């Protein structure tokens, strides 16, 4: 069983999905600590509901990024964390942090990277006019949302989508793939080769694949 340290800033639905997967015995891990930089994050309540230790480390604790990160690193080490899980943690990490946990920090991003890194990406996907977006779990490196990709899930973007409806569709996929990615790590099935993450013994998809809008039921196009 691997030991997780989950970093949060907000609602914590991904944290909840991880806790639920553990309780359902689909994920062979324990959440040993939840760290929040926001004292009002609902994620804190979710952790407490499951008797998980919570450490609130305010942004104001230190103005220098490296000093702040040193406190987080020390906290994660105190709980002997094997894998650091970023779950809506709204802070960039310093290289010092990345070096302390090389290829042992995962993040989830609500777009199909490398498209739309950064913030407000559901709006960016709608404004760009893509027909698909999705969620990406990746290891964290020094860049913003640039680390090696572990798993992606695809969702359609519809003409009448708002930021909120698209975010909700993506979030459901996040809750499915994040616990699974962590389980792959726990099973030792993730092999990093340069930028690529090879997932040992993974299944392949069968065609037909996806299109949006749907072609196959569009009868006049098939004539």
Q: Annotated active-site positions, please?
A: 109
Is the sign of the CA dihedral 87, 92, 94, 98 positive or negative? positive
**Does position 104 bind ligand GRF by CB under 6 A?**
no
Please list, in sequence order, all residues whose beta carbon lies within 8 angstroms of the beta carbon of residue 214, skipping any fewer than 6 positions away: none
Query: Would you say 12 or 179 has its CB closer to ligand GRF?
Result: 12
- Residues 161-180: x/- map of binding to ligand GRF (CB under 6 A)? ----------x--x------
Of the residues 7, 14, 34, 197, which one makes contact with ligand GRF according to CB under 6 A: 14
Number of residues that bind ligand GRF (CB under 6 A): 12
**Does position 146 bind ligand GRF by CB under 6 A?**
no
H helix intervals, the chain: 13-23, 42-49, 65-78, 95-100, 121-128, 163-186, 219-222
Are 9 and 36 in contact, with CB atoms under 8 Å apart? yes
Are 37 and 69 in contact, with CB atoms under 8 Å apart? no
* Contact region with ligand GRF (CB under 6 A), list: 4-12, 123-131, 146-154, 196-204: 4-12
Query: Would you say 13 or 183 has its CB closer to ligand GRF?
Result: 13
Strands 83-86 and 54-56: unpaired
Query: Would you say 39 or 207 has its CB closer to ligand GRF?
Result: 39
**Does position 13 bind ligand GRF by CB under 6 A?**
yes
**Does position 108 bind ligand GRF by CB under 6 A?**
yes
- Residues 71-90: x/- map of binding to ligand GRF (CB under 6 A)? ----------------xx--
- C-alpha–C-alpha distance, residues 190 and 13, integer Å: 24
At its nearest, how many Å lie between ligand GRF and the CB of residue 20? 12
- C-alpha–C-alpha distance, residues 85 and 72, integer Å: 13
Query: Would you say 11 or 146 has its CB closer to ligand GRF?
Result: 11
40: left (phi over 0), alpha (psi -120 to 50) or beta: alpha
Are 32 and 80 in contact, with CB atoms under 8 Å apart? yes
**Does position 152 bind ligand GRF by CB under 6 A?**
no
Query: Would you say 122 or 183 has its CB closer to ligand GRF?
Result: 122
Are 70 and 57 in contact, with CB atoms under 8 Å apart? no
> Which position's Cβ is nearest ligand GRF?
88
Chain residues that interact with ligand GRF, rule: CB under 6 A: 10-14, 87-88, 108-110, 171, 174
């Amino acid at each position: 069983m691997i030991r997780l340290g989950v970093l949060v800033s907000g609602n914590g639905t991904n944290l909840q999905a991880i806790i639920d997967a553990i309780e359902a015995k689909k994920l062979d891990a324990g959440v040993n600590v939840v760290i929040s930089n926001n004292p009002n994050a609902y994620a804190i309540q979710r952790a407490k509901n499951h008797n998980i230790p919570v450490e609130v480390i305010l942004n104001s604790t230190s103005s220098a990024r490296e000093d702040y990160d040193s406190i987080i690193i020390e906290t994660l080490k105190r709980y002997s964390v094997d894998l650091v899980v970023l779950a809506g943690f709204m802070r960039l990490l310093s290289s010092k942090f990345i070096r302390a946990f090389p290829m042992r920090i995962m993040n989830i991003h609500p777009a199909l990277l490398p498209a739309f890194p950064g913030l407000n990406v559901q709006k960016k996907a709608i404004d760009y006019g893509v027909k698909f977006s999705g969620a990406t779990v990746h290891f964290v490196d020094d860049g913003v949302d640039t680390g090696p990709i572990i798993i992606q899930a695809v969702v359609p973007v519809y003409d009448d989508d708002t930021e909120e409806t698209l975010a909700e569709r993506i979030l459901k996929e996040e809750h499915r793939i994040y616990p699974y990615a962590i389980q792959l790590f726990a099973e030792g099935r993730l092999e990093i080769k340069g930028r690529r993450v090879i997932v040992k013994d993974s299944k392949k998809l069968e065609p037909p694949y996806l299109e949006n809008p749907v072609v196959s039921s569009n009868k006049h196009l098939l004539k």
